[in-house]
Amino acid sequence: REQQANATEEGSNNSRINSTKRHLVSAMGRIGSLKLKQGDHAGALKAYTCLLGLVDADSPLPSRTEKAKALVKCATIYRQRDTTKDNELAIAHLREALEMYTNIHGQNHKDTRAIEASLKQWQAQSTKGGEQAI
């Protein structure tokens, strides 16, 4: 009985931790969006980067979806900076977002296709500019 009670308590703690983590992921996404609305791109990147670190392959679907969206937003911010290194980061983030969107929504989903088209365009522009596509 004691083992059952301990297992139940441990399961309850895990559930509470997972719930808190989901709320934190969602909050970091909202903070990133608010920072973007304020024009604080560095602050937005900081929030989104924190979110990216919180989510892994075992995270629940809503958290993985938040991560995929955050990757697109980071890619967009990096792209706007228009330096070689930032363009490389933008392409890397968009590539990871494409993989996640494909896994979550499927290859024919409109968002997946839009990300794929942007990635191809960014890679082509990067190659034209004398940079190597990642």
Per residue in 19-56, pLDDT (tens digit) is 888 999 999 999 999 999 999 999 999 999 999 999 99
What is the model's pLDDT at position 105? 96
Both tokens assigned to 32: 């990133």
Q: What is the pLDDT of residue 1?
A: 64
Say what the pLDDT of residue 7 is.
56
Tell me the pTM.
Answer: 0.84
At 132 the pLDDT is 46
CB hemisphere CA count around 82 (13 angstroms): 1
Q: How confident is the model at residue 131 (pLDDT cuts 50, 70, 90)?
A: very low
Residue 109: DSSP 8-state: S
- With 0-12 / 13-18 / 19 or more C-beta atoms within 10 angstroms meaning exposed / middle / buried, residue 40 is middle
Question: Please, what is the end-to-end C-alpha distance for the chain in angstroms?
Answer: 56
